[in-house]
Structure 1
Amino acid sequence: MQGTLVAAPVQPSALRASLLASLAPSFEPRPFSYRRMLAVGGLLAPPAALLVYGTLSVPVRAPVLLAGEARGHWPVAALAALVVVAVDAAWLIVLLRRRAAPPSPRAALMVPPIRPGRASLAALAVLRPELVPSRVIAITAATSAAMLAAAAVMAFPLWVIAALTIAPWLPLLSVEGLAKYQHYGCLALFGAITLLQIGHLGEHTTQVSQLLMRSGDLSRARGVFGQLDFETVHFVWDTGIWLGLGLLLYRFGARNPWLWICFAAASLHEVEHIYLFSVYRSDLAFYTRGGLAGVMGSGGVVGSPLGRPYLHFAYNVCVVIPMVIAFWDQSRQVLADSVARLSSGVASQRR
């Protein structure tokens, strides 16, 4: 019949794109919302309480320098601060001169299915396994638990128990990491750095727990991997995290304020480790007599109420919490960018 309008069939991909486009605003992260700040306060409260209790009730028992002796090394501390400030300033100039780069094409290749009521959990869709079946994950978990139990029964050292527990997961993490990189590019690197730093915080948490259980005896509180508890390892690790965060700022910093907060905390932490590594290499006698307190540790160049283990636990908390939030927000931003590209692509096909 003439004059009758017949609706053109709508492709499923177009329907999905339209649905995602309607959800796009909810994918956009809200960095400093009221709920977010309450959550941050809740995350900071337990470590803060732990530090207050440890500092007041279980002081660290370690070599202590004579009053004012550490201040004689203030030029080393000042030089460490200048190095960090110079690198950060140079990097900031590079970032300011760089025009905002378009989203990575790989980040827009795949939009995981999101339920309309679950947009706030969009980051979890990015993190979920893509290649490894659930059955393999369950088998790996059972294997890891069995190795943990066997190593504990055989009274292996703590670091051996941890290594045997982690080992079965490494192939799965490698496979999934490559898949994430193919789909999300630098976001996969961001996730890897975040995961590693969470593990590093776990090591510091273990050390603080050992201090509390062993009356503050630093010689008996070395963490899980005590064989790696020396300044060269600390310096290399924290310098790598600091520089890695700088690279992430170059890629993601334009729209991720929590990444800037994380980078600032990592920069302060780096000042400590440049100073400690310099003293460790140039004046070992001073270091072993108490110079290991560093810049801000109790008895250090500047000093504070916090003994070194408590101080570095605090540094890592201040790095990890913003890092996790920054990664969460960046995952949502990747989804928002992907939705925008998918929607614009469908719209252009209709024209």
Structure 2
Amino acid sequence: MSTISDIKVDYYKLPLIGNLVDALHGKHDHFEIILATVTTSDGTQGVGYTYTGGIGGVAIAKMLELDLAPKMIGKQLPRLCKHYGYEQFQKFNLDMNNAIHYVARGGIASFVISALDIAIWDASLKESSLAIADIFGTRQTTVKTYHGGIDLMLTEKELLESLEAKLKEGHTRVKIKVGQENLSDDIDRVRAVRNLIGPDAWFAVDANMVMHPDTAIRFAKNIEKYDIAWFEEPTNPDKYKDYAKIATNTTIPIAMGENLHTAYEHELAFDIGNVKEIIPDCSNVCGITGFLDVAHLAKVRGLNVNSHGMQELHVNVIGALDNPGLVEYHSFPIYLYTNEPLIATNGNLVPSKTPGTGVSFNFEKMEKEKQ
């Protein structure tokens, strides 16, 4: 069995097309990618990564390079086991958590661990000549996707024009941002989008945590008639009881996950928050291992698991599951810097058959953005 002989860390600051705006973070004009490249004693290389909305990338890169990577060099590369599944990866992931949890449990530490965990999966699967969508023998031929817009900078007219373009590109499901100062403006946007896409199309909304629970309930009641698939992050994700209160007072399923950075937090979202649509992100939930842990929590509760961002990776991870939900086609275009195309066709994506995670980066294209 091979061991980890080297871990290299790279940091990139990548431009976004236009200034994207949501209710909490305001304008986005760039995003960050932190890459971890693992080399094994057999010479195999695995690449993992995490990303941010433009803040914290340097801290993540330095913590990975200086604190975590040195502790993992020399360790055996985990393997999938026929009878125990991904148990070796869970043990390796726990070792990473134990190494750095005291200063950053669930915060930056989860981003750091995620990048290295994904690299470890990539290297291990490459050595086994196995694509990640095949790890459990339940490969999905296609995975459903939705376009997740960051669009509060758009007027209502511009929003509708943007969504029309996405529908022409092959999307059949859409999510828009809400959380403006005037609730009536959000309600008007919801009404306009529903009129555009028709009564049967999948349609969700995302408030990026900014609403008071009572405001969220009032908003939800006003848009129930528009058949909303889910209401994402209506309020502070740490306040699980507020999520339960909102869920109890609307027929719209409540969703969250992107700001929960451990599987334990997702468990609280299920059991206290009454969340019915869970949306973890491999970039910040301790990697593929953490994502699979959340998927199991969803499965035993009879629920599917969705994903946030990183669609070029999540299509392959969700493609491995027997409780697949929806892959968000996020507005941070990491996929533009990868070698495999990612095209939505009739609202579906196709999981990669390439050994490893199915994500390889075009380093030549990224080189000028390296910091």
**TM-score, structure 1 length as denominator?**
0.25
Query: Normalized per residue, which structure has more helix?
Result: 1
Query: Larger relative CO (CA 8 A, sep 6+): 1 or 2?
Result: 1
Bigger radius of gyration, 1 or 2?
1
Query: Normalized per residue, which structure has more strand?
Result: 2
